C-alpha cells in the first residue's frame, strides 16, 4: 500500500468522521444555543394536515421552485432525487439491512444486482447531467453569476468530480461489482483494524473527494438540508402547528 493510499483509505476516514460529526454538532449546537426571541417570519398554516402535506411536498418535490424558478428546478430536483437514490445505494456498502428488506419483498441476489446496476446507472447519469446543467446555469445566468463567489463554483465542480469517478467505476471498472470486498474494507475501518481496500486509482480519487466534501459539509452552504429545518420554511410552521386551532 502506497503512502497516499494509506492516507486516503486508512487514516483520512478517521479524520473525516471526527470532523464531520464534530462539525455537525458544533453547527447545530450553535443554532440551538442561540435563542430565537421572536419568530418574526411566520406564515400561517390553515390546518395541521394541510401544513404537514405542504412540508412533505416541499421536501420531496420542491414545488416552490417549480412555481418560482423553473430553470432552477430542472437542475435542482433531478440532482437531489438522484443523490437520494445514490446515497441509498451506497448505504448497502455499510449495512446489509437494505438487502434484507429487498429479500423479504421477493428480490433474488441477481435481482438486487440488476436493480443496483440499472437504478444506480440512471441516477449516476442524471446527477452528472444535472450538475453540468447547474454549473452552466451559474456561469450563464447573469443574476446567479452576480451573486456567486468562487466557492459556489468549486462545490459544483467538486461534486462533478466525485460523480464522474463514481460513474467510471460503475460503468467500466469494477471494485463496485464486488460489493463484499468493499464491505470487508469498510467494516475494518469501523472495528479500528483498517485494511487495504480493493485496489483502484479511481476509487482512491472518489474516496478522497468524498471525504473532503464531508469534512467541509458542516462549515459550508452544504449544511442547507439541515438549515432548512431551522428557517421559516419548516421550523416556524412546525412551531405554529401547535397553535393551530
Partner 1 sequence: MKNDDPNENNPFKISPSPSTSTPFPSPPEFFKELKLKTEMVSDAEKPNKALEAMEEILNERQSIRVYMDTCTKCGACAESCHYYLGTNDPNNMPAHRVDLFRKVYKKHFSIEGKLLGPLVGAEKMDSSVLEEWYKYFYSCSECRRCSIFCPFGIDTAEVTMAAREIMLRVGIGTKYANEIISKVHKIGNNLGIPELAFWSNLEFCIEEIRDTMGVSVNLPGTKKNPTDEIAQAKIGAEILYVPPSADLFVNIDTQIGAMLIFHAAGADYTMSHSASEAANFGLFQDYADLKAINKRIVDEAHRLGVKKVIFGECGHAWRAFKNITEKWNGQLNFEIEHIFQYTERLIQLGKISLDKTQITQLVTLHDPCNYARGSGLLDPQRYILNQTATNFIEMDPKKTRENTFCCGGGGGMLMDELMDLRMKGAKPRAEAVRDVNAEYLAAPCAICKAQLRLAMDHYKLNTEVGGVLDLVGKAIKITKMDASNDISSKESKKKTKCSLCEKEFQSYDECANHTEKSHEISKNQADMCCEPQ
Judged by the rule CB under 8 A, the positions of this chain that interact with partner 1 are 27, 30-32, 34-44, 58, 62, 64-65, 68-69, 72, 76, 137, 141, 143-144, 146-152, 154, 216, 219-221, 223-224, 227-228, 230-234, 236
Considering the complex, state which of residue 57 and residue 187 has its C-beta at the smaller distance from partner 1.
57
- SS3 state at 147: helix
Minimum separation from the CB atom of position 99 to partner 1 (A): 34
Taking the complex as a whole, how short is the minimal distance between the CB of residue 119 and partner 1, in angstroms?
Answer: 26
Angle at which helices 97-104 and 70-94 cross, to 10°:
90
b/e per residue 185-222 (b: at least 16 CB within 10 A):
beebbeeeebeebbebebbbbbbbbbbebbbbbbeeeb
- Between 138 and 183, CB nearer to partner 1: 138
Under a CB-based contact definition with an 8 Å cutoff, are residues 217 and 23 in contact? yes
From the list 216, 222, 200, the residue with the least C-alpha distance to 9 is: 200
C-beta of 87: minimal distance to partner 1 in Å? 18
Euclidean distance between CA atoms 191 and 228, whole angstroms:
34
Q: Between 166 and 218, whose beta carbon lies closer to partner 1? A: 218
Pick 201 or 232: Cβ nearer partner 1: 232
Q: Which is nearer to partner 1, 190 or 219 (CB)?
A: 219
Please say whether the dihedral angle defined by the alpha carbons of residues 233, 236, 242 and 244, taken in this order, is positive or negative.
Answer: negative
Q: Minimal distance in Å, beta carbon 81 to partner 1?
A: 14
**Closest distance to partner 1 from the beta carbon of 47 (Å):** 13
Q: Output 110 or 146, the one with its CB closest to partner 1.
A: 146
- Give whichever of 96 and 231 is closer to partner 1, judged by the CB atom: 231
Cβ(243)–Cβ(46) under 8 Å?
no
Least spacing, CB of residue 58 vs partner 1, in Å = 8
Residues 60-77: b if buried by 16+ CB within 10 A, e if exposed = eebeebeeeeeebbbbbb
Contact between 162 and 124 (Cβ < 8 Å): no
**Closest approach of partner 1 to the CB of residue 111, in Å:** 36
Amino acid at each position: 500500500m502506497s503512502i497516499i493510499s494509506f492516507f486516503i483509505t486508512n487514516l483520512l476516514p478517521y479524520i473525516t468522521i471526527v470532523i464531520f460529526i464534530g462539525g455537525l454538532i458544533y453547527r447545530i449546537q450553535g443554532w440551538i444555543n442561540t435563542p430565537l426571541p421572536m419568530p418574526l417570519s411566520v406564515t400561517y398554516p390553515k390546518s395541521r394536515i394541510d401544513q404537514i402535506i405542504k412540508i412533505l411536498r416541499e421536501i420531496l418535490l420542491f414545488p416552490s421552485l417549480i412555481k418560482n424558478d423553473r430553470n432552477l428546478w430542472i437542475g435542482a430536483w433531478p440532482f437531489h432525487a438522484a443523490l437520494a437514490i445514490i446515497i441509498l445505494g451506497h448505504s448497502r456498502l455499510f449495512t446489509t439491512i437494505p438487502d434484507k428488506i429487498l429479500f423479504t419483498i421477493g428480490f433474488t441476489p441477481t435481482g438486487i444486482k440488476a436493480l443496483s446496476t440499472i437504478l444506480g446507472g440512471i441516477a449516476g447519469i442524471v446527477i452528472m447531467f444535472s450538475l453540468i446543467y447547474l454549473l452552466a446555469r451559474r456561469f450563464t445566468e447573469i443574476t446567479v453569476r452576480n451573486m456567486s463567489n468562487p466557492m459556489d463554483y468549486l462545490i459544483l465542480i467538486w461534486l462533478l468530480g466525485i460523480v464522474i469517478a463514481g460513474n467510471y467505476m460503475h460503468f467500466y471498472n469494477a471494485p463496485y461489482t464486488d460489493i463484499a470486498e468493499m464491505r470487508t474494507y469498510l467494516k475494518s475501518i469501523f472495528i479500528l483494524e483498517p485494511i487495504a481496500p480493493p485496489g483502484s486509482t479511481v476509487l482512491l480519487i472518489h474516496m478522497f473527494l468524498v471525504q473532503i466534501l464531508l469534512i467541509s459539509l458542516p462549515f459550508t452552504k452544504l449544511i442547507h438540508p439541515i438549515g432548512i429545518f431551522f428557517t421559516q420554511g419548516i421550523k416556524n410552521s412546525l412551531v405554529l402547528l401547535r397553535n393551530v386551532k
